[in-house]
A and B are shown apart, each in its own frame.
Chain A
Amino acid sequence: MTTATVSRWDRFRESFFWYSFKRDKVAVISFVVLMLMVLSAVFAPLLAPADPYDLAQIDILNSELPPVGLDGSDPAFPLGTDAQGRDLLSTILYGTRVSLMIGFGAVVLQAVLGILFGLLAGYLGGKIDAVLMRIADVQLSFSTLMVAIIVGAVFKASFGNLMFGEIAIYMLIFIIGVAEWPQIARTVRASVLAEKKKEYVDAAKVMGFGTPRIMFRHILPNTLSPIFVIATVQIANAIISEAALSFLGLGMPETQPSLGSLIKSGFDYIQSGSWWITLIPGLVLVVLVLVINLLGDWLRDVMNPRLYKG
């Protein structure tokens, strides 16, 4: 088993993928920044100086302290505090965590739905294809935000604010995941249409393999490259959608802030001079989305079969 993993690692290190990654400075820097953000978000409970979810640690007297280096700052709060007196650094770390969780979760949901429906539509064709793709068209004709606002408002009204706070993260994953699955389904379907005409699929049919086995074991691995590219970009999109929803007050509650709800909570104080509450989480959000998009661009170039196949 160890020999197999070693050879796979060697194969990876000799691959075009790794080679082009090493040569592309933008990709390397984006990847490093993204990894730093992901790691600091994942280990937020260990890294953060304070726990923003713990009401006992918050003192209202510390509210709206500026970041270190400005008049009236407190060295205990390197990035200052927000209107409730929470340490902004800790809140951003926890907020990035929530944003990333929603981004990844929504894309996993999109990928599951998109791959399943895309494979079925592309491989089986005919009526199933027509029905699934028309559903996708209908879904795409609604703006994601509009659907999310309606569903979010209904949820919020029917569950009440307290209950909503507990399920908000799952609801956001669900809304963004369901709203965006056609993006992945269409890409998968297009690849499947190209792959299913190839002779290795005929060879599998001649062997007597069942349709699910051919779809998932033979065709799906050959359609993964475009899925990776789309999924990367979709993570960034999902994070933006979540931030927009939170900014509108339909996303994460202030007690468990995401980057979007942090920006919103600071927006009320931006006129009174406490610009950092909005600006710093806003910068973090921009950097996060930017590096994911840059990585997605690089992936698209690498995995473009017209440039390189393999």
Chain B
Amino acid sequence: MTSPLVSIRDLEKRFDLSGNLLEQITFEGGRFRRKQEAVHAINGVNLEVHKGEALCVVGESGCGKSTVARTVMGLLSPSAGEIHYDGQRIDNLEGKAALPYRRKMQMIFQNPYASLNPRMTIQQTLEEPIRFHHPGWAATEVRDKIHEVMHSVGIDPDWGSRFGHEFSGGQRQRIAIARALAVDPEFIVADEPISALDVSIQAQVLNLLMDAQESRGLTYLFITHDLAVVEHFGTRVAVMYLGRVCELADTKTLFATPRHPYTQALLSAIPKLEDDRPNHIRLQGEVPTPVNLPSGCVFHGRCPYANDRCRQEIPQLIATDGGGQVACHAVEEGRL
């Protein structure tokens, strides 16, 4: 296998809850104590994205999938771990050194109503990144590039003088995609790009993303919670739970033979037309708080197969016979 385009190594991200020193001091049981708390959003994530693929990251709300996306893009700095792009570590780059990667890596956001600057016309929105990354380009080159990306996302170039609020949600998301494509990226992180859109528009935007992948040779890291989209779009799927990757496999393999108990429960929840009596796997309890992580496997409190080892030892991703990877002691021991 070729070396990965993007690799995420032992990534951790904590968000501090306790504030400054004064706010950390609490009075408990007759004495002052310093109390520090943090949300453990990502706890040791390892992922590799290969050139040309669409790696989908799925999981429920709060499992850290958006945090992974934002950390990869450098919007958040990791608490621990490294991010490599094409063999070069990028999470510690600053200023000018990071610029080439800013051009190669782009992001599409969830909410098309907030991701376009309300005071800029579409023309200005698309022009600024091109001029910024290609200061030497002549005005005609810039204009041609804007026309090209607007055409490729299905927006009439004559609409350039309009403002974002004059467009519908689907059109705005197309414009946001055009902005990302304007700097000719290789790698695009899409953070739930279609979940804010109407169902009828979702398919259009998804097809647009797939066309762009084909014609421009793009690589995607696609964050979503919509399993139908994953099945349609993803080359490989990573399932996250409480800040850890619990299973990683080819889309077909994962949907056909899910190995991790959480993946099995997740997939069984997909509604099917032919099913009048669906056989959902019902998980007990709630997702534990990411402030105080459970010991051992993060899923052990809700897992029907959990034993003492699961309660104490953190499972690592191991290769399965299907070609995927799964982080589960039960699978490793053959109990499942």
Q: Which A residues form the contact surface with B (CB < 8 A)?
A: 4, 7, 198-200, 202-209, 217-218, 221-222, 310
Contacts and interface: CB of A to CB of B under 8 A. Distances in A.
Q: Which among B70, B119, B161, B165 has the greatest number of chain A C-beta atoms within 10 A?
A: B119
Interface string B78-100: 00000000000000000000110
Q: Which among A4, A7, A203, A222 has the greatest number of chain B C-beta atoms within 10 A?
A: A203
Contacts of B110: 199
Contact of B115 (A203, A221, A310): A203
Contacts of A221: 117, 119-120
A21 B179 CA distance: 36
B114 interface: yes
12 contacts: A4-B161, A198-B114, A199-B110, A200-B118, A203-B107, A203-B179, A205-B75, A206-B102, A206-B107, A207-B128, A218-B117, A221-B117
Given A203-B115, A209-B128, 10 more contacts: A7-B161, A198-B115, A199-B114, A200-B115, A202-B107, A202-B109, A202-B115, A203-B179, A208-B132, A209-B132
A253 B261 CA distance: 86
Contacts of A205: 74-75
Q: Which among A199, A202, A221, A222 has the greatest number of chain B C-beta atoms within 10 A?
A: A199
A203 B103 contact: no
Nearest to A221: B119
B224 to A, nearest CB: 17
B129 interface: yes
Given A199-B109, A199-B110, A199-B114, A207 B129 contact: yes
Given A206-B73, A206-B106, A207-B102, A200 B132 contact: no
B176 interface: yes
A4 B114 CA distance: 26
Nearest to A202: B75
Interface in B97-138: 98-99, 102-103, 105-107, 109-111, 114-120, 128-129, 132-133
Given A207-B129, A310-B165, A200 B116 contact: yes
Given A199-B115, A222-B117, A207 B183 contact: yes
Contacts of B75: 202, 205-206
Nearest to B179: A203
A199 B129 CA distance: 16
A120 B266 CA distance: 45
A291 B40 CA distance: 56
Contacts of A310: 165
Q: Which among A200, A205, A218, A221 has the greatest number of chain B C-beta atoms within 10 A?
A: A200
Contacts of A222: 117-119
Contact of B133 (A7, A204, A206, A208): A208
Nearest to A208: B102
A310 B132 CA distance: 28
Contacts of A4: 161
A224 B109 CA distance: 25
B117 A200 contact: yes
Q: Which among A205, A206, A209, A217 has the greatest number of chain B C-beta atoms within 10 A?
A: A206
Nearest to A204: B117
In the A-B complex, the 6 residue pairs with the closest CB atoms: A208-B102, A199-B115, A221-B119, A199-B109, A199-B114, A200-B117
Given A200-B114, A222-B118, A207 B109 contact: no
B109 A208 contact: no
A35 to B, nearest CB: 27
B182 to A, nearest CB: 9
B132 A207 contact: yes
Contacts of B103: 208
A218 B124 CA distance: 11
A221 B117 CA distance: 9
Nearest to A222: B119
A201 B106 CA distance: 14
Contacts of B128: 207, 209, 217
Nearest to B107: A206
B322 to A, nearest CB: 35
Contacts of A209: 128, 132
A166 to B, nearest CB: 42
Contacts of B133: 207-208
B325 to A, nearest CB: 29
A210 to B, nearest CB: 8
Contacts of A217: 128
Nearest to A207: B129
Contacts of B102: 206-208
A207 B70 CA distance: 13
B201 to A, nearest CB: 18
A238 B246 CA distance: 64
Nearest to A209: B132
Contact of A203 (B70, B109, B118, B119): B109
Nearest to B73: A206
Contacts of A199: 109-111, 114-115
A203 B178 CA distance: 12
Interface in B43-96: 70, 73-75
A16 to B, nearest CB: 12
B112 to A, nearest CB: 9
B319 to A, nearest CB: 34
B215 to A, nearest CB: 22
A206 B98 CA distance: 10
A212 to B, nearest CB: 12
A147 B99 CA distance: 48
A273 B176 CA distance: 73
Nearest to B106: A206
B216 to A, nearest CB: 18
Contact of A208 (B98, B114, B120, B176): B98
A222 B163 CA distance: 13
Contacts of B132: 207-209
A298 B15 CA distance: 43
